Amino acid sequence: MRYALDVQYIGKNYAGSQIQFDKDGVEIKPTIQGELERGICTLLTGVRYESLNKIRPVKTVFSGRTDRGVNAKGQVIHFDYDKDIVASKFVYQLNEILPPDISVSDLRIVPDRFHAQKSAKKRYYRYEFINRKYKQAFDGDLLRIKYPVDLIRMQEALNHLLGEHDFSSFKSSGTLNPSRVCTLYDIQCSREGDKVIIDIAGNRFLYNMVRTIVGTLLKIEGHKLPPSLMKEILEAKDRCKAGQTVSPYGLTLMKVEY
């Protein structure tokens, strides 16, 4: 049977979501996937796996990879297991095993054709940063922009990204997938006190794409460049034209829609 599970995590203390191995097949710790699979294997097999290898008793598939420092409130994974699992008991026990910055919810049986990554229709990301000259104790790791930003100008720039485009200008060199075309369905920027929030919904995202879009937006706003420059950068399909890739802290995978 195939099971789907909702996962939440704070990414600060992890080397990303995806499990990684060195050239000798030894697990590189810690990762979100590694911690999850260790907990799941412990519950389902009764054996405590202190370290995993490429041949794992239970393998999880994520809806999408998140990088070091990136959070998730709505990550979805699937895994296969040939016995019935009592959802409420499993979720409770797994949460007791997992580190305090990882949690799970809503275990459910899904059709065998369901695939956490390939079946996803929309992914929703949020980036938050502080817009204030002086720091405050509870800013945490969020990026702080000291100059005042204009949300009307920012929204005008972001609107140029809506629709289906080649987003090569906003991809990092680590992108393995040769496809550069994505569709963005909605982009909104808003403010809550000193915090600026950028919500982006799309069918897929390239490696570091959201963080580079935000960096480009801040480049335009910081130098008071015309918002239409975002369209020129998009059409250039040249990473050198865009802004820097901003900090991963403040980026959260909010929801995956199937």
CATH number at residue 36: 3.30.70.580
Domain boundary among 85, 110, 135: 110
52, pLDDT greater than 90: no
Range(s) of the domain holding residue 141: 122-257
Both tokens of 15, joined, read 């080397």
pLDDT, residue 5, reads 98
At CA 155, angle to CA 250 and CA 129, rounded to 5?
A: 20
Share of the chain residues as helix, strand and coil, in percent rounded to the nearest 5: 25, 30, 45
Whether the link from the prior residue into 227 is cis, omega within 30° of 0, is no
Look at residue 117 and tell me if it is in a domain.
no
Q: Are residues 93 and 151 in the same domain?
A: no
Both tokens of 192, joined, read 């809550």
- Give 27's strand partners: 21
pTM over 0.85: yes
Q: Are residues 6 and 55 in the same domain?
A: yes
Instruction: Tell me what the mean pLDDT of segment 183-204 comes to.
Output: 97
174, pLDDT greater than 70: no
- pLDDT tens profile 9-26: 999 999 999 998 888 778
Given the residues 67, 84, 150, 199, select the one marked as catalytic.
Answer: 67
Q: Are residues 77 and 135 in the same domain?
A: no
Look at residue 234 and tell me if it is in a domain.
yes
CB-based contact 144:135 (threshold 8 Å): yes
Q: Which residues of 167-205 are buried (b: 16+ CB within 10 A; e: fewer)?
A: bbbbbeeebeeeebebebeebebeeeeeebebebbbebb
Query: What secondary structure letter does DSSP report for 13?
Result: G
Q: Rounded to the nearest 5°, which phi and psi values hold at 39? A: -65, -45
Which residue has 């490696």 as its token pair?
A: 207
- pLDDT tens profile 212-224: 999 999 999 999 9
For residue 83, how many other CB atoms are within 10 A of its CB? 6
CATH code for the domain in which residue 175 is found? 3.30.70.660
Provide the domain count of the chain: 2
Q: Are residues 84 and 182 in the same domain?
A: no
Domain boundary among 74, 89, 110: 110
Q: H-helix or E-strand containing 215?
A: helix 209-222
Q: Are residues 134 and 244 in the same domain?
A: yes
Nearest residue to 202 via CA among 253, 133, 129, 131: 253
Q: Are residues 128 and 245 in the same domain?
A: yes
Residue-averaged pLDDT of the chain: 94
Whether 199 is catalytic = no
Look at residue 115 and tell me if it is in a domain.
no
Helix (H/G/I), strand (E/B), else coil: 207: coil
Look at residue 176 and tell me if it is in a domain.
yes
Look at residue 162 and tell me if it is in a domain.
yes
Look at residue 169 and tell me if it is in a domain.
yes
Look at residue 116 and tell me if it is in a domain.
no
